[in-house]
Structure 1
Amino acid sequence: MSYTFESIAQLEHSKEFAKLHKKFHQFNPLKVLRVSHFEIRHSNVLGWLIDPDENHQFGSFFIKKLLSRLITRSENEEKLETIDYLPFLYSSLTDAVVYREVKTSTGRFIDLLVELPSLKVILIIENKFHALESENQLKDYLNYIKTQYSDYTIVPIYLTLASDAPSHPDYWSLDYHDVMDIITQHLELNSEVIADNIHDFLSYYTAILREELVEDNESLEMALKVYQMNQKAIDLLFVSQHQELRKQPRFKELYIGINDLSVNEQSALKRIYEKKKKTIDYIFTIGSNVLRQAFLKFAHIEELPEEVYNAHIRVPNFILPEWLDFEDIVGKPEAGYWLGSGLIIWFERTWNDFLKINVEIGPVPYENRLQLLSGLEDQGVSFRPSAKLEGKKYTKIYTELTYINDWANKQKIVEGMEKLYNNDSFNELLAQIAAAIENLKGKEKGRYEVDFREESILDTGSTQRRIPRDAFIKFVLNQGISEEYYKIQSHNASFLVPVFRDLEKVYGPTRMKWWWHDSTFTYWFERLKDGRLKLILELGPLVAEKRLLIVKQLEEMGVSFSVKSKQPTARYTRIFSDSTVINNWEDVEEVYQAMEELFGQVENRNLLTIIKSLG
């Protein structure tokens, strides 16, 4: 077999593997007790923290913070109308009574039941640390408690690692990030008065949660590197100990080889795996993640530049390249938010095996947020009214699902991503966002307003996103641009003006292949996925000395450049771009008029005059 024991020996010599193994085997007494592996043990810790009469010295701090977090989560906004939640904020809650493993009439066990007698409220907490729901589980719990506490307000809570949506509509969402944040906050605020043994216990517990919840980029990179360099060894060790993978076609050949191993060899594999199980599991999970691999293929198909996506293993996320120009309007989000863009798109796998696409407005300054939401509302985008309140940070403006019947099949996931990305309703949203942004930009520049119309001709995929040839030909003829000075390619049409060629006599051609002409500057029209037409003027990758000379001269004449653009290693510098919404891409006259409008912008004309003076 190609998967040999020699590859395992090579794995043992990997420095990155050794570093990961050391990290995953730092001493934690709760790991020794295997608390991290069993849901019931997490429920026991939660029950202890929630009970105000326990010896943790929290009093009712934890239950109060848990409830306040519950009512402020965006997923739960619609449920606030069903209960009187204000008493949660001012009541002491010192009378809370906690019941664990409550048996129902169907023989199932509710993880935690919390009774608040003074408020006549009962909390059902279904804890899913790693496990999935059983059929009708949430419904059974709720029905049982309704019979037992008929005169109480019932608040059913679905607690998961990563905000998985409950299957039952009445359940409120909560996740372990909330639990970790509450404990961490208490430790930070009260470290001087908390008993050492309690402080140590909670520190060890939050370390377990952090390991599960907080993405460590350094560890991710190391795991990917180890897997890429030692895939045969990792696959052999992991797959040989997980018989449930036999159904996956991609491991068929590997299992044939494993079946041919002697009993002693199979026993050796088991001993090696068990000795370094956590490290091997982590590397295999990261390295062989099909969602990530599928997303990378999707990004390649859609020609997404590397700077606009993050191939995260659980929530691969991206923005449209054209959204990079939106920062002045949308605003810059708080540090650490996704890709640093106030608008974000991401894919995720749901608990019930659907692929989901999400679009969200993040934590940008309130003034920007309010004007963007109002602009989107004018274009017909719907969202919760509370999203416009000051203090709100995250607003999901779009979600869509498609079922994936084989999550081990990369191609099926790619097809699912393409289906969601090229869905008519998604493209409609992109057009609505574009119209809203253009209106906000237009108000700054005194332009007319545009609006998205449902009958607009929308883009349905990158292969169909073409510049109308007749419109562009009409434009170049009107501008007196001869045939050797322009070219139409897929969804862009590029052109030169004579002065760009004239400047080659002074500054030379580019130092590398650039477009079809290798000239000093270039213009191009681009048809964007969100339905806009964009005009771009760019300075090309000239020899560094000549390029910097142009930058210096333009700067002296009032053209602004970033620090990065003035580096000798810089290649391309965009010095003008503007866009406009096209309602009907099949209307040649509309597209032509938009081209004339963009090229005729005062800023562009002024730049062209300045460039002519360089010769």
Structure 2
Amino acid sequence: MSAVPDLNTAPTLDDFESLFVNNRDLDNVRAHLSKFNPIKTMRMARMEIRHSAILAWLLNPQETHGLGDKFLKAFISEALRGHPTAMHPSALQVSQADMMDTEVRREWRHIDILLLSPANKWIFVIENKFDSGQHTNQLARYLKLVQSSFSKDDFSHIRGIFLSLWDEDPDDDRYAPINYGSICEILEQQAVSGRHPLTAEVETFVKHYLEIIREATGMSEEQKELEKLARQLYRDHRRVLDFVIEHGKATDFSFACDSVFGEGLEHGNIVEVDNERFVFNNCDASSISFLPQSWHKALGGGKLYWNGCENWAMGFPITMWISLTVDADGTSGKIRLMSEVGPASDHEFRHDLINGIQNATKTNSRLRIKFQAGAADEGRKYSKIFKKNFFNVEDVQDQERIAELIKKALKDFRPEIDAIADILPKFASYGKFGKSGE
């Protein structure tokens, strides 16, 4: 009987070879992961807004999918079937209607999908919840908004449809529930069964989308087998996999930082972004820290010691970083360029530094520099410098857009960076030579 490996020790070369060299199970996982799916490739698989866009395309009878109003009617009637309400239309009425005139609106007044069929005088309000939860009174507000926006003479019946990944009950019982598993069944019946001939391109895309839904809803048998295989691989090679996860993890933000600042950076490296140089400090999953080289030089180029800051940032009394924060919807977020005066123990120096930076706005009122009230008071340790310093990003998994916004942040705030660089040399005398600061 072989000895149980000690999970607290680093894996050996033999451990790595056992997992990565000629491992049939790992090859099977690789083969599955390497299967091309454009939705996965574009990192849209878990993005609610992208699912709404695809569904809006499928629901639009005038679109290029070739299904006419077949998917539209099948989707609505499946949602309404058996829904205990006296409201009209019913599932049977929808299934027998001609809905080719339906207009599809995306994100109209924040409603995910709005369907209008003037010929039938019907409106359907679709709220799509793929990963996110319901907001207080959200569903009722949408119905009220639609009722106040469209004439009863033009649209006599308004129905709500609540689409969720699982069997979640809507907060408002005027909404008929339907889940993504039902969409999977409808697409299999309407689009890939051969009942309605589609172009090769449309059929391929629908199959890719079906793969995404099956995996998300647990309906994929292949996914279930791979999950079993993954669990076995983890049991057999836990020490190696834990080590890889701990030391090799990366995010879309960190990849974007690599594209802007360069890969494999070490503390103290000089990097150049759009003709501006920065001294790199550190990068993790959601932030990257650095100093403009002009600040670094103005404060002694690393030769001076700043009491109180020895264990903070780069050891300087001021720092800068860029971070990515994710909004409540899990999809959008903000890129923020941050700068801060740190915990210098010399209160007179810290007070004068903050006031000196703030005074830069007296000669240029357009500078986005503003400390909070009391930032220079004794006992305060951390005081942020910039205002209006965030940039909205629609998709926090969009590496290219994140990289663009990082560059934009650095470019837009160059006047503030230059203004502070002009001020800092006045404070170099507060620094001390030597590691002890004595």
The alignment's TM-score, normalised by the length of structure 1, stands at 0.35
Structure (1 or 2) with the greater helix fraction: 1
Higher RCO, 1 vs 2 (CA within 8 Å, ≥6 residues apart) = 2
The alignment's TM-score, normalised by the length of structure 2, stands at 0.49
